[in-house]
Amino acid sequence: MQRRSLVKLGIVVLLASFLGWTSLSAKNAKGVDFNRDKQRVLLLSSSGYKDTGYLNHALPWLKEFVEKNNLQNKKIAFVPYAGVRKSYDAYENQVKEALRSLGVEIVSIHKGKVKEQIQKADAIFVGGGNTFELVNQLYKNDLIELIAKRVSEGVPYVGWSAGSNVAGATMQTTNDMPIVEPESFNTFNIFPYQINPHFISGKPKGHNGESREERLEEFLIVNPKAVVYALPEGVALWIEGKKVKVLGMDKNAPLLKLEHKKDIQKINIGSEFTY
Ligand code: ASP
The number of the ligand 1 atom at minimal distance from the alpha carbon of 173 is 8
Q: Would you say the CB of residue 161 lies under 6 angstroms from ligand 1?
A: yes
Taking the C-alpha atoms of residue 197 and residue 195, their distance in angstroms, rounded to an integer, is 6
Q: With both helix axes pointing from N to C terminus, report the angle between 131-140 and 144-152 in degrees, rounded to the nearest 10.
A: 90
* Contact 176 CB / ligand 1 (< 6 Å): yes
Q: Could you give the residue numbers annotated as active site?
A: 161, 176, 198
Indicate whether residue 232 lines ligand 1 (CB < 6 A).
Answer: no
Cα of 22 vs centre of ligand 1, distance in Å, is 31
Gap between the terminal Cα atoms of the chain: 63
CA of 161 to the centre of ligand 1 (A): 5
Ligand 1 atom index nearest CA of 162? 4
**Residue among 133, 129, 69 at smallest CA distance from 102:** 69
Dist CA 61 CA 66 (whole Å):
9
CB distance 45 to ligand 1 below 6 Å: no
The residue extents of the domains of the chain are 44-274
Q: How far is the CA of 162 from the centre of ligand 1 (A)?
A: 5
**What is the 8-class DSSP label of residue 243?**
E
pTM of the model: 0.90
Pocket residue to mutate for ligand 1, from 137, 174, 179, 194, most atoms within 8 A of Cβ: 174
pLDDT per residue, tens digit, the chain (275 aa), is: 556 665 565 555 454 444 444 433 334 456 789 999 999 999 999 999 998 999 999 999 999 999 999 999 999 999 999 999 999 999 999 999 999 999 999 999 999 999 999 999 999 999 999 999 999 999 999 999 999 999 999 999 999 999 999 999 999 999 999 999 999 999 999 999 999 999 999 999 999 999 999 999 999 999 999 999 999 999 999 999 999 999 999 999 999 999 999 999 999 999 999 99
Write the CA distances from 236 to 57, 80, 177, 178, 229, integer angstroms: 11, 20, 23, 25, 11
Looking at domain 44-274, its CATH architecture is 3-Layer(aba) Sandwich (3.40)
